[in-house]
């Protein structure tokens, strides 16, 4: 759902500027509005800042943060340095610290661009109310690109809250202002999919692919809708397209494997689940799917190994406990089966309760 994960909106690349001032780590410094810098100090701050930009563009985020901070120490009111330092922290995954640095940038220069960037960081942190507030401020302050992106991200917030009608409304606003907004079409399609409006979902995925024929995720998601509609051949084509665009797409391999399983093409399904696992050894669902196939082939010992691995990776995978319990039952491990069904039942798998009542009295 992310605009090429955070998209970085190319927001974060600020070229050489001569700026104002900025603070290191203390809001008290921000209050120092009287200090007059010498020309040499201004030049040194700008030099540190520009070196930070170069490091940032080279993905050397720690070095970039250090340079931006040096610029801030010299010039206490330097919003661009705070903004880019926040962006580097975001790129490292340090969302809390990034939000704090965006706070300083906004205090110094409350622009739509800065509100949008902080909102995206808050959205990634799942601080949805703060994110929505910042996106609305960006909308108030801008009538162009940032406004469009803000509507898109408000849609993402609502999607994350499972409020799909509101998500669709905001994605649509972004599309009305930019009819080539690929991600808005894609994500609106996903919202339609969650509401079981499959034809609308397919229409939006096709539009996203028309705008970006290399969008592997759109092919994958379109395949998933077709699978729900039992258009298995169409789903295979779409999953294969996703894989051809991204050969390391573990999700597409796993999903294509489920279609091969539905078509009783066991060898191809096993291959795809194994490929997904090779790409992502922590992919619990792929282990579980492969285990189910091995179980159906009465290869209980190897199925059990895959169930074990799936549950090592995801201890809250209720269906995995249910299925492993069934596998253990077939292997005459009644005590182990009952323990697994009890765990599945505790995790909300209702069918596990039936097995408990029938087999574990």
For 18, 35, 44, 76, the CA distances from 31, given in Å and listed in that order, are 21, 10, 22, 9
Q: Strand ranges (DSSP E) for 85-213?
A: none
pTM of the model: 0.85
Beta partners for residue 76, in sequence order: 22
What gap in Å lies between CA 187 and CA 154, rounded to an integer?
12
| Count of all residues that appear for the chain in the document | 361
Domain locations along the chain: 1-94, 282-361
User: Which pLDDT score is estimated for 10?
Assistant: 29
Residue 293: partners with Cβ closer than 8 Å, 6 or more residues away: 261, 266, 269, 270, 273
Beta bridge partners of 77: 22
Can you give the pLDDT at residue 14? 36
- The pLDDT tens digits of the residues spanning 56-111 come to 999 999 999 999 999 999 998 999 999 999 999 999 999 999 999 999 999 999 99
pLDDT, tens only, 56-68: 999 999 999 999 9
DSSP 43-55: HHHHHHHHHHHHH
- Going by CATH, does the domain composed of 282-361 fall within 2.70.70.10? no
pLDDT tens for each residue of the chain, 361 residues long: 444 333 333 233 333 332 222 222 333 334 444 467 898 999 999 999 999 999 999 999 999 999 999 999 999 899 999 999 999 999 999 999 999 999 999 999 999 999 999 999 999 999 999 999 999 999 999 988 999 999 999 999 999 999 999 999 999 999 999 999 999 999 999 999 999 999 999 999 999 999 999 999 999 999 999 999 999 999 999 999 999 999 999 999 999 999 999 999 999 999 999 999 999 999 999 999 999 999 999 999 999 999 999 999 999 999 999 999 999 999 999 999 999 999 999 999 999 999 999 999 7
**Separation between Cα atoms, residue 12 and residue 7, nearest integer Å:** 10
Q: Which among 66, 97, 305, 350 has a CA at the least distance from the CA of 341? A: 350
Q: Hey, is 349 helix, strand or coil?
A: coil
pLDDT of residue 35: 62
- In whole angstroms, give the CA distance from residue 141 to residue 284: 45
Pick from 116, 107, 138, 137: nearest CA to 21: 107
User: Radius of gyration of the chain from Cα atoms?
Assistant: 26
C-alpha distance from residue 11 to each of 2, 5, 99, 144 (Å): 15, 13, 15, 14
pLDDT at 143 (0 to 100): 85
Contact 331, 304 (CB under 8 A): yes
């Amino acid at each position: 759902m992310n605009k090429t994960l955070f998209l970085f909106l190319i927001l974060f690349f600020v070229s050489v500027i001569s700026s104002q001032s900025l603070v290191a780590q203390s809001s008290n410094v921000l209050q120092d509005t009287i200090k007059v810098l010498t020309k040499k100090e201004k030049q040194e701050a700008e030099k540190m800042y520009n070196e930070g930009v170069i490091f940032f563009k080279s993905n050397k985020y720690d070095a970039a943060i250090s340079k931006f901070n040096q610029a801030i120490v010299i010039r206490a009111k330097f919003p661009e340095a705070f903004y880019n330092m926040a962006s580097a922290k975001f790129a490292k995954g340090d969302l809390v610290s990034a939000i704090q640095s965006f706070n300083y940038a906004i205090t110094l220069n409350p622009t739509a661009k800065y509100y949008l960037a902080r909102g995206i960081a808050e959205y990634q942190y799942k601080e949805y109310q703060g994110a929505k507030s910042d996106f609305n401020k960006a909308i108030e302050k801008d009538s162009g690109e940032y406004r469009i992106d803000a509507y898109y991200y408000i849609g993402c917030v609502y999607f994350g809250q499972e409020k799909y009608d509101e998500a669709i409304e905001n994605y649509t606003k972004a599309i009305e202002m930019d009819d080539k907004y690929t991600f808005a079409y894609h994500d609106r399609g996903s919202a339609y999919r969650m509401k079981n409006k499959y034809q609308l979902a397919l229409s939006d995925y096709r539009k996203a692919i028309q705008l970006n024929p290399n969008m592997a995720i759109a092919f994958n998601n379109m395949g998933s809708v077709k699978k729900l509609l039992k258009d298995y051949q169409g789903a295979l084509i779409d999953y294969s397209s996703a894989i051809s665009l991204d050969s390391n797409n573990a999700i597409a391999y796993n999903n294509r494997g489920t279609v091969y399983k539905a078509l009783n093409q066991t060898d191809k399904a096993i291959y795809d689940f194994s490929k997904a696992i090779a790409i992502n050894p922590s992919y619990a669902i792929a282990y579980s799917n492969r285990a189910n196939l091995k179980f159906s082939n009465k290869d209980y010992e190897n199925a059990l190994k895959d169930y074990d691995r799936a549950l090592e990776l995801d201890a809250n995978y209720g269906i995995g406990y249910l299925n492993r319990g069934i596998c253990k039952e077939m292997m005459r491990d009644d005590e182990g089966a009952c323990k697994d069904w009890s765990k599945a039942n505790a995790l909300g798998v209702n069918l596990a309760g039936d097995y408990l009542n029938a087999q574990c009295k």
